[in-house]
Structure formats: C-alpha cells, structure tokens
Amino acid sequence: MTRNADRGAAIQNKCYSDTAARYVAMHAHEGAGDAALKGFVASILRMTNARSVLDVGTATGRGLQELKEALPDGLVCGIEPVAALVEQAVHNENNAGTAVIQGSGMALPFADASFDVVCEFAVLHHVARPNAVVREMLRVARKAVLISDSNRFGQGSLLARLFKLALYKSRLWGAYNFVRTTGKGYRITEGDGLAYSYSVYDSFDLLAQWADRMILYSAVDKQRSSWAHPLLTSGGVLICALKDCG
C-alpha cells in the first residue's frame, strides 16, 4: 500500500507540474467555482467570527482570493505540496494579500489550533490516506473544518450506489476496490488525473468526534431527490464540522 501510495503521489505531482500553467482552465468546472458554495463558505466564516483561514491543497491559489473577499481583514493562507502550482499562484498574483506556502497536508507545518477555520476543496480524493490529512486539519483548527469533496455513494446508477454502500457497510469495499484497480488503489482519468475512490462520509466519524455540530451542504438534484439526500443523491458534499468555542 505504501509503495502504491508513493507511486501515486509521484504520478500526481508530475501531472500537476506538467499542467500547472493550464490548471485553472482544466479545473474551472469543479465545486470551488459554485456561487452558492462560495456563499455558504462565506457565511460559515461570518458565523464563526473567523479571523484566520487555511486552505489545504490550494493549488494555484484561485480560491484564496475568494476567501480573502469573505475575510478581508483576516489572515488567509494556502498550503500546496506541488512547487509548480505554488509558482503559478505567485505568477497569477493569487497570493495578493494572502500567504501561499509549499507543504504537505499530511504534516501541516503549524502549531495546534493555529487557524480559526481550515478547509479543503476537491483535494482528498487525490490522496491515498485522506483521513491522515483530515486529522492534521482538525489539529490546527480552532472553530471549524470544512471538507468539500466527492461522495462515491452518490455517483453512478441507483443500483451502483446501493451496491457501493452495501460493500462499504459490510467492510468489503477495500477488497473490492483493490481488485477493480488491479491493486493500485487509484485510477487515472484525463479530466481528474490520479484519483482514489473517496467519500466525505469516510471522514464523517472522525469529524463528528471533534465537532460539537455538523452541517452538510450539497445542491439538490431534483431527478434524484429522495429522503436519502445527500448520501445517495449527491456526487459531491460539503461537511462543516463546528466547535462551540463560547
């Protein structure tokens, strides 16, 4: 597993390094560009009276300027492991009024409770051990952790979604995923690069142990609307874990 994870990280790093100049155009369709999602994140920052926010896996820093608009007088920081993407953030001047540093979400170079809010947008499904990153996010957060990422249980046909959920609940998903990816654990596609099968619900219990309140946000697909929303109806979900800090 470790060898495959290291190989996957190297592949992903090269992919991002090679496409850094085109990164924004290639990923313009992803959730961070959704106006309603931006508004929700801004509301969380206001509700928590946040004075600082960290974006984990900030890529070229496109989202940092949106966070800065929501928190104009606060500290906005992004961390990104790929040097070429950090350089592109500086080139695009996405670091204006913010801080962008190179570093890994697996070992955030910050003390405990360094930021009021810690967030990530569509990053964890590119990581072999996403909950290791989530633990680091929880460690450095004071008030809130926001995870906006994929949800495998809301993707595919209804039968496929139910099948994946049944495997997961039976603790057989790991074995099934090992077989379907021929032991690699990941798949490579033109649109998303190297990606692992991930759901924000894989991190739900970890977030719930830390938080006093949990808020789930996703767009409603009327064609798939059901009482199981968003677990079985939304391919992407934002989970907001909140601490009551008094």
Torsion of CA 173, 177, 178, 183, to 10 degrees: -160
Measured CA to CA in angstroms, residue 10 lies from 4, 35, 59, 65 at distances of 10, 33, 16, 28
| Integer Cα distance of 130 and 145 in angstroms | 14
DSSP category for residue 170 = T
| 126, two tokens | 């590119």
Q: How far apart are the first and last CA of the chain?
A: 42
Q: Average pLDDT for consecutive 10-residue bins of the chain (246 residues)?
A: 61 60 52 75 95 94 90 94 86 77 95 97 94 98 97 94 95 94 87 88 97 92 79 94 86
| Integer Cα distance of 209 and 213 in angstroms | 10
pLDDT of residue 31: 46
User: Which CATH number do you get for residue 34?
Assistant: 3.40.50.150
Question: Quick one: how many helices (H) and strands (E) in the chain?
Answer: 9, 9
R_g (Cα) of the chain, nearest Å: 17
**Domain of 136, in residue numbers:** 2-242
- What phi and psi values does residue 136 have, to the nearest 5 degrees? -65, -40
| Integer Cα distance of 218 and 168 in angstroms | 22
pLDDT of residue 93: 67
| 44, two tokens | 């969380």
pLDDT of residue 62: 84
| 201, two tokens | 């619900």
pLDDT of residue 98: 87
Count of domains forming the chain: 1
Q: How far is CA 186 from the centre of its chain?
A: 17
| 183, two tokens | 């032991």
Amino acid at 24: V
